[in-house]
A and B are shown apart, each in its own frame.
Chain A
Amino acid sequence: MVDLVATDEQQQIANSVAEYLRAELPLDRLTKKGKANSDTDHAKWKAMAELGWFGLGLPEEQGGIGYSEVEEAFLYREMGRLLVTPSAIAASLGARVAAGAGNGELAAAIISGEVRPAITIATSVGEVGPRVSGRYQLFDGAEADLALFLSADGAALVERRALNDLKVSRSGDDALSLELADLNGAPTVAYVGADAGIRRNGLLLAAAMLAGMCEATRDMASAYAKIREQFGQPIGKFQAVKHKCADMAIRADAVNALVAFASITVRDRRADADFQVAAAKLLGAQYALLNAKENIQVHGAIGFTTDLPAHLFLKRAHVLDHFGGAVRRQQMDLLAQPAA
């Protein structure tokens, strides 16, 4: 029967993830040392793997935990709230690519955290097939063993050491390192075609993270609006601020409901799954960017500093927007879909 409320079990998963992340990967890990980086995330990589996160949505016969894309979306929403490295997405997708390509050993190694993949974003027209060509940005890949490549044609894993002449560049997201790769027929360790639906899974996970970021920025802004006083009253009492916070709440609710809906359509392999996922990814990115910007605005000058993680939500939203195709691309893809 139609039901968009989390089951007790799903709620428990979300709660336990949230509890773990708040304790082990609090947001201040990204502001404490003066320089944001994802070291802490990688220090906890094995621990996250042992909690089963990277195999959560994979069937047991593929070495996964046997939950579905629905529970996985809850997991990634919570990760989004705490700005966990997008390498997690690379792991969940990489395990699927390896399993889909018949390399169960590699899938198991990714799920257990032994082997660590990172995401890439194409900057040229390339080719993702049994071999990979083109120019790519590799995010947070310094400690990675594999790089994940996605395109409309399929998904592939390439060993980091096969990425010749990696060039370090300055990342638009302070918390993530950036290297540039120029590949010309690099060999893959696993490749699956478009029908495996890896890109769709990736868009959904990114959308779920963006949904969590919409919530986190909403909460951060309204918490601050309650305590920051000017003109003798909390700034949240002024409608100019209150209404900004209300808009952030509307956007967070819209994206969250859509991500939940889309995750069910993916799990159930419904005909409108591509439609719903493209919609979720495009709204997720638009709204996370807006919420991040307004969160900085509500905080005023402190929001512009690196003392607070507010800027990191904006920057991460841009990374996730470009992952799997940015808003304009999602708009084209969504318009090409039949009506849902």
Chain B
Amino acid sequence: MNLDFTAEQDVFRAEVRDWLHDNVPKEKRPIIGDETLVYDKAWQKKQYDAGWAGISWPVEYGGRGLSLIQQLIWFEEYAKAQAPYLGNFFVALSHAGPTVIARGTERQKAYHLPRILKGESPWCQGFSEPNSGSDLASLSTRAYVDGEHLVVNGSKIWTSFAQHADYQELLVRTDPDAGSKHSGITWVIGDMHLPGVDVRPISCMDGASHFCQVFYDNVRIPLENVVGDLNAGWSVAMTTLGFERGTAALAEQIAMAREIERLIELSKTRLGPDGVRPAIKDDLIAARLATLRAECAALKAMSYASISRAQRDFVPGAEGTLIATYNSEMLQRVYRMGADLMGDEMLDLDASEDRWTYEYYRSTLQTIAGGTSEIRRNIIGERLLGLPRDR
């Protein structure tokens, strides 16, 4: 067991660090609005022009094709350089693109992959529906074949970036009479600009609109946009879960470690609950900060261990779910700490440029999006511990 990097990897790290240092946008990423799209496109294009787009994508599809350890280095440096969140390109780069690579036709690959890498086409994910959240496979947005088209009717919801996306990874029910709810689903590339697609942003508790509801009224999508086979969409959707084997999550974790260090600094300047001494002199606050440090160290160790196993081509188990659960709940404790350190001023959203209260509100989504904590605990209990299923 080892924590060292090879000389070659150190050289690579220096190259990454230098490039990021010179190229990470100086201005902060805007939080809401169309400015985010302009910003995200520019940053993605910049990475593409320098050969840093799609770092985990295979080289033959225009990606950088980095090894897992190189990805780890990239994401560590990415976080240290405070490079921006992928935002509007998150779905395209981490899920849609890899799915097209794994299951798409040559034509689909040739058309879409360069547009993603160059920062031209953002994607969104059309999975959840008003009546299908955790029970995704029960989805009922209907599509029937009409000549060379799928005709889609229904609605998707909680769709992040739908207002900016050009394309959507869309799951539709093509065979309602199939034997099980997992069969009869098709994965299709939906063009967000087609007639009959209606995108309505949803107002969220943090004041920024994170997601939308999308309505489909006889939307005609060419059959050639189907990825994988008709009615085989569930397996297509599952193909690339965990595509990056935990390397991308490392960037978030390093960013979180930095937030914790900022909180420790903040606790030295904010007044504590006694109104006299700095917050860090309060025993409970100090205990919480120390525990966050320890938990974040454990999270990093878990990610390193997971990447180490992936390197040896171990088949990924439920360990990604363990890490995701721990990570998301820790993030909530981190931002709650930030809000608490603001004292009474947490009630004033303009009190600090660091927006601790905003981040705290925002963090409540962490244990819902991408799998609720409850579903994740089912997965851990059933797949990792072998407890009996209840569904």
Which B residues between 306 and 328 are near A, CB-CB below 8 angstroms? 307-309, 311-312, 314, 319, 322, 325-326
A258 near B390 with CB under 8 A, answer no
Could you say which of A57-65, A190-198, A328-336 contacts chain B? Answer: A328-336
**A328 in contact with B308 given A234-B388, A242-B387, A253-B322 (CB within 8 Å):** no
Question: Is B301 an interface position by the 8 A CB rule?
Answer: yes
Question: Is B12 an interface position by the 8 A CB rule?
Answer: no
Question: Is B4 an interface position by the 8 A CB rule?
Answer: yes
Question: Is A286 an interface position by the 8 A CB rule?
Answer: yes
> Which residues of chain B are near A339, meaning CB under 8 Å?
257, 261, 264
Q: What's the A-B contact tally at a CB cutoff of 8 Å?
A: 171
> Which residues of chain B are near A276, meaning CB under 8 Å?
297
Q: Which of B290, B314, B389 interacts with A332 by CB under 8 Å?
A: B290
Q: Which of B3, B283, B294, B386 interacts with A334 by CB under 8 Å?
A: B294
Per DSSP, chain A at the interface is helix
Interface string of A245-285 (1 = CB under 8 A from B): 11101100111011011111100101000011011101100
B293 near A2 with CB under 8 A, answer no
> Which residues of chain B are near A275, meaning CB under 8 Å?
293, 297
A255 near B298 with CB under 8 A, answer yes
B387 near A6 with CB under 8 A, answer no
Q: Which of A70, A236, A283 interacts with B1 by CB under 8 Å?
A: A70
Nearest CB in chain B: distance from A184 CB, A: 32
> Which residues of chain B are near A32, meaning CB under 8 Å?
none
Task: Determine which residue in A247, A253, A276, A280 has the highest number of CB atoms from chain B within 10 A of its CB, and name it.
Answer: A253
> Which residues of chain A are near B319, meaning CB under 8 Å?
253
> Which residues of chain A are near B298, meaning CB under 8 Å?
254-255, 257-258, 279-280, 283
The 10 closest A-B pairs by CB, nearest first: A331-B290, A261-B301, A279-B294, A257-B301, A236-B387, A242-B381, A246-B380, A246-B377, A4-B305, A258-B298
B387 near A7 with CB under 8 A, answer no
Nearest CB in chain A: distance from B379 CB, A: 8
Report how far A332 CA is from B311 CA in the complex, Å: 37
Interface string of A1-37 (1 = CB under 8 A from B): 1111111001000000000000000000000000000
Report how far A263 CA is from B304 CA in the complex, Å: 14
A331 near B2 with CB under 8 A, answer no
Closest B residue to A268 by beta carbon equals B3
Nearest CB in chain A: distance from B229 CB, A: 35
A233 near B294 with CB under 8 A, answer no
A1 near B378 with CB under 8 A, answer no
A249 near B380 with CB under 8 A, answer yes
Closest B residue to A270 by beta carbon equals B3
Question: Is B32 an interface position by the 8 A CB rule?
Answer: no
A1 near B2 with CB under 8 A, answer yes
**A225 in contact with B1 given A239-B374, A257-B305 (CB within 8 Å):** no
Task: Determine which residue in B72, B309, B322 has the highest number of CB atoms from chain A within 10 A of its CB, and name it.
Answer: B322
> Which residues of chain B are near A304, meaning CB under 8 Å?
none
